[in-house]
């Protein structure tokens, strides 16, 4: 089988211009020559942070999720604890911080279970999802721009929420499915 990881881009970039930038995203306009040899444009959203998610799991296979209203979709969602990781910070350090801030938990054991490109047709966003074990409960210290509800539930109930479509967040869905497979394979 051919190694596609070393394949060179068939796109040729003519020019690049930043159109809009916030502390979270930058929208970039590219003038390009397409793989078919025609002139075109490509818009990309470049993220100013990595995304991190955490699936905390106690010795009885209970977990914690967070509920919050998400402005872009105008919906209230349930998801695993998540947050942004500055590009100069290790994703694991950001995951530990987010778990403490959002849920008030610390963990002794951490395992990277998933690394993903979230929407690679239009963004460069990368996510890292961790499994946190040997949990200690404490007090949350949520950011002032967050209004989060914390819920503790059995992991199998969380898995069923994914199957029912009650959890739609991509980082949550992928991470929960991966951890369920790890449980079924008796890896954890």
What DSSP assignment string belongs to 60-104? Answer: TSEEEEEEEEETTTTEEEEE-SEEEEETTS-HHHHHHHHHHHHH-
Q: What is the mean pLDDT of residues 96-121?
A: 96
Q: Please write the tens of the pLDDT for every residue from 25-53.
A: 999 999 999 999 999 999 999 999 999 99
Q: What is the pLDDT of residue 139?
A: 87
Residue 121 covered by a domain: yes
Q: What is the mean pLDDT of residues 104-119?
A: 97
Cα angle value 60/62/64 (rounded, 5°): 155
Do 32 and 54 lie in a common domain? Answer: no
Do 122 and 36 lie in a common domain? Answer: no
Closest CA to 79 of 55, 44, 96: 55
Do 71 and 151 lie in a common domain? Answer: yes
Do 114 and 38 lie in a common domain? Answer: no
Do 110 and 159 lie in a common domain? Answer: yes
Tokens of 5: 């990881």
Q: What is the pLDDT of residue 142?
A: 74
Q: What is the pLDDT of residue 83?
A: 95
- The total domain count for the chain is 2
Average pLDDT over the chain, rounded to whole? 95
Do 80 and 22 lie in a common domain? Answer: no
Residue 33 covered by a domain: yes
Q: What is the pLDDT of residue 141?
A: 83
Do 41 and 107 lie in a common domain? Answer: no
Q: Is pTM beyond 0.85 here?
A: yes
Do 109 and 22 lie in a common domain? Answer: no
Q: What is the pLDDT of residue 170?
A: 97
Q: What is the pLDDT of residue 135?
A: 97
Do 54 and 128 lie in a common domain? Answer: yes
Q: Please write the tens of the pLDDT for every residue from 122-181.
A: 999 999 999 999 999 998 887 777 789 999 999 999 999 999 999 999 999 999 999 999
Tokens of 186: 């008796």
Residue 2 covered by a domain: no
Residue 72 covered by a domain: yes
Do 87 and 162 lie in a common domain? Answer: yes
Q: What is the pLDDT of residue 3?
A: 81
Residue 118 covered by a domain: yes
Q: What is the pLDDT of residue 162?
A: 98
Q: What is the mean pLDDT of residues 9-21?
A: 96
Q: Please write the tens of the pLDDT for every residue from 46-81.
A: 999 999 999 999 999 999 999 999 999 999 999 999
Write out the residue range of the structural domain in which residue 88 sits: 49-184
Do 33 and 122 lie in a common domain? Answer: no
Do 108 and 180 lie in a common domain? Answer: yes
């Amino acid at each position: 089988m051919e190694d596609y990881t070393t394949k060179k881009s068939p796109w040729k970039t003519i020019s690049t211009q930043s159109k809009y930038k916030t502390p979270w995203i930058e929208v970039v306009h590219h003038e390009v020559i397409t793989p078919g040899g025609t002139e075109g444009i490509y818009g990309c959203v470049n993220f100013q942070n990595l995304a991190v998610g955490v699936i905390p799991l106690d010795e009885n296979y209970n977990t914690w999720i967070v509920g919050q209203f998400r402005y872009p979709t105008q919906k209230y969602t349930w998801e695993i604890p998540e947050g942004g990781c500055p590009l100069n910070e290790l994703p694991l350090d950001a995951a530990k911080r987010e778990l403490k801030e959002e849920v008030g938990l610390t963990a002794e054991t951490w395992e990277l279970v998933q690394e993903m490109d979230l929407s690679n047709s239009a963004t460069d966003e990368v996510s890292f999802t961790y499994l946190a074990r040997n949990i200690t409960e404490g007090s949350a210290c949520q950011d002032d721009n967050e209004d989060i509800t914390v819920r503790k539930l059995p992991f199998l109930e969380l898995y069923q929420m994914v199957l029912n479509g009650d959890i739609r967040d991509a980082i949550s869905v992928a991470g929960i499915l991966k951890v369920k497979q790890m449980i079924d394979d008796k890896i954890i």
